[in-house]
Structure formats: structure tokens, C-alpha cells
């Protein structure tokens, strides 16, 4: 079965990696027997570097590419939300510019999305093939404990930047309120609340040394966002 696929890629300060992401994504999707039509939507916060200019230089010759430049800083979560709600095809996936999750993970996810509403990549499963720093392992363990204690999510990994959705799940993103890099927990919490089916799958994942992630403040920030999300839930913001 061939699929129509929208790809959402949030970008910020990515001038050294964006060209590779564009070329490899286009080549993979154009030569993929599982894909009939596709679009790649870059949603960019303007950092004043060359990221947006590089994307613009590729638009004319590649009709599958689209660029949305945020008028104000939306952060990763806000950019993903904007892109997801802009997508036009029946299957929608988002992943990171650094391609830490190899593009071939799209194929298995397309097979699974025929049975489930949402497919999420997981670095926490024993079948996953992971190359990452020890500090990242520690953070992942902290996240797993915190999200279980505060909001009751039992997924082994909510923070992997690779997730695929059916179009019918877009109400999740209409309800999304968190714009930071921890938005993944919120959208999965909403998805569970709305009773969408979710498949957590093992993946290959290679840590990026050039990550923009500020690890020094990450655990405290994560806890703050969990508490804020819990408050939103108590206020009824996620109710249908």
C-alpha cells in the first residue's frame, strides 16, 4: 500500500545541518516505494543565521518543500504544532533536522500506522539500537520516573523526536499548549485522554554532538512543564 505523507521538521539555528537534511529527505522520500505523494514542511524560528535562506534557496526547484517562518519565537513544540495543523496528507510525521532517527524508520512506521492512530519511536525499548551519551541515558531515566509520577504516562520514551500520526488525531495539536521541547509529553497525554491508539516502537537512534539542547537545566525545566501540564488538565483544558 502506498501512502501520502506530510513531514514536519522544526528548525532553529540549523545552518550547518539543514542542507544535508533537505537533500537526504528528498532523496529518500522520492525513491520510496511506500510513498505516493509527500510534502516536507520546515517550520522555522528565525535565529538570524542562514538556516531560512538555505531552505528558501531549495524551494524553487523542489515543489515538495514548504517553509513557514514564525513571526515570533515558537520553540520546538510550537513549531511542530503549526506544521502539524498545516499538513495536508493522511499520514503526518515529525522528526529532527539532525536525522538522529534514520529515515528508514519511516517505512516500518507507515506499516504500523495502518493499525494504530499514532506511532512513536522509543529509545527505551531493549530492541532499540542506540548510540548516546551517558548523561542522556540518565536524563531519560529521570524523565520516565517524573512523567509516571506526575501524569501517569507509562511509555518508555516520550522524548524521542520521531512520531507519526493519522490525520484524524489532529485535535491533539489543537489542544496542545506547551511550546517547549517537552511538548511530547503533553501531546501523548492528550492522545491517551482522547483514547487514540498508540504504538511505541524500537528504533535506531544516534546522538548528535551538535545538539542545541541545553542539558544543564533540562531536568528542572521538565518538572516545571509537567506541573504546568497537570494544572492545565485540572482546569479542564484537555477535555473534549
How far is Cα 170 from Cα 48, in angstroms, rounded to an integer?
31
Query: pTM to 2 decimals?
Result: 0.92
Least confident of 138-152, 155-169, 173-187: 138-152
3-state helix, strand, coil in the chain (%, to 5): 40, 20, 40
Give the pLDDT of residue 152: 83
pLDDT band for 150, please (50, 70, 90 cuts): confident
Lowest mean pLDDT among 132-136, 145-149, 203-207: 132-136
- What pLDDT score was predicted for residue 137? 60
Provide the mean pLDDT of the chain: 91
Partnered with residue 65 across adjacent β-strands are 40
pLDDT digits (tens, 9 = 90+) for 48-72: 999 999 999 999 999 999 999 999 9
Say which residues have a Cβ less than 8 Å from residue 183's Cβ, sequence separation at least 6. Answer: 76, 77, 78, 80, 81, 176
Which domains are present in the chain? Answer: 3-234 (3.90.550.10)
pLDDT score at 44: 98
Contact 232, 151 (CB under 8 A): no
Q: Which of 116, 139, 150, 120 is nearest to 225 (CA)?
A: 150
Would you say 106 and 4 are in contact if contact means Cβ atoms under 8 Å apart? Answer: no
Helical (H) or strand (E) element with 142: helix 134-151
Distance from C-alpha of 145 to C-alpha of 208, rounded to nearest angstrom: 24
User: What pLDDT is stored for residue 239 in this prediction?
Assistant: 86
What ranges make up the beta strands (E) of 24-100? 35-44, 65-69, 91-94
Measured at the CA of 77, the angle between CA 228 and CA 69, to 5 degrees, comes to: 140
135 pLDDT more than 70: no
Q: Name which of 87-91, 101-105, 114-118, 227-231 the model is least confident about.
A: 227-231
Q: Are 25 and 58 in contact (CB under 8 A)?
A: no
Report residue 142's pLDDT band, with 50, 70 and 90 as the boundaries.
confident
In tens, the pLDDT along 195-227 reads 999 999 999 988 775 554 555 577 788 888 999
Q: Enumerate residues 6+ apart whose C-beta is below 8 A from 110.
A: 3, 5, 34, 35, 91, 164
Amino acid at each position: 500500500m502506498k501512502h501520502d505523507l506530510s513531514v514536519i521538521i522544526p528548525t532553529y539555528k540549523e545552518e550547518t545541518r539543514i542542507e544535508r537534511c533537505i537533500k537526504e529527505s528528498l532523496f529518500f522520500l522520492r525513491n520510496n516505494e511506500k510513498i505516493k505523494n509527500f510534502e516536507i514542511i520546515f517550520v522555522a524560528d528565525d535565529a538570524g543565521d542562514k538556516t531560512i535562506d538555505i531552505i528558501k534557496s531549495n524551494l524553487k526547484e523542489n515543489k515538495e518543500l514548504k517553509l513557514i517562518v514564525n513571526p515570533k519565537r515558537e520553540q520546538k513544540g510550537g513549531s511542530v504544532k503549526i506544521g502539524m495543523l498545516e499538513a495536508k496528507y493522511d499520514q503526518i510525521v515529525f522528526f529532527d533536522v539532525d536525522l538522529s532517527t534514520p529515515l528508514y524508520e519511516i517505512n516500518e512506521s507507515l506499516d504500523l500506522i495502518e493499525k494504530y492512530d499514532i506511532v512513536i519511536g522509543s529509545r527505551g525499548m531493549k530492541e532499540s539500537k542506540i548510540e548516546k551519551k551517558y548523561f542522556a541515558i540518565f536524563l531519560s531515566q529521570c524523565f520516565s520516573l517524573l512523567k509516571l509520577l506526575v501524569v501517569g504516562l507509562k511509555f518508555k520514551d516520550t522524548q524521542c523526536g520521531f512520531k507519526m500520526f493519522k490525520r484524524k488525531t489532529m485535535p491533539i495539536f489543537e489542544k496542545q499548549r506547551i511550546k517547549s521541547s517537552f511538548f511530547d509529553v503533553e501531546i501523548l497525554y492528550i492522545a491517551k485522554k482522547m483514547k487514540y491508539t498508540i504504538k511505541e516502537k524500537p528504533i535506531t537512534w544516534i546522538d548528535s554532538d551538535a545538539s542545541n539542547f541545553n542539558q544543564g537545566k533540562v531536568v528542572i525545566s521538565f518538572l516545571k512543564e509537567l506541573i504546568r501540564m497537570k494544572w492545565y488538565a485540572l482546569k479542564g483544558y484537555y477535555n473534549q
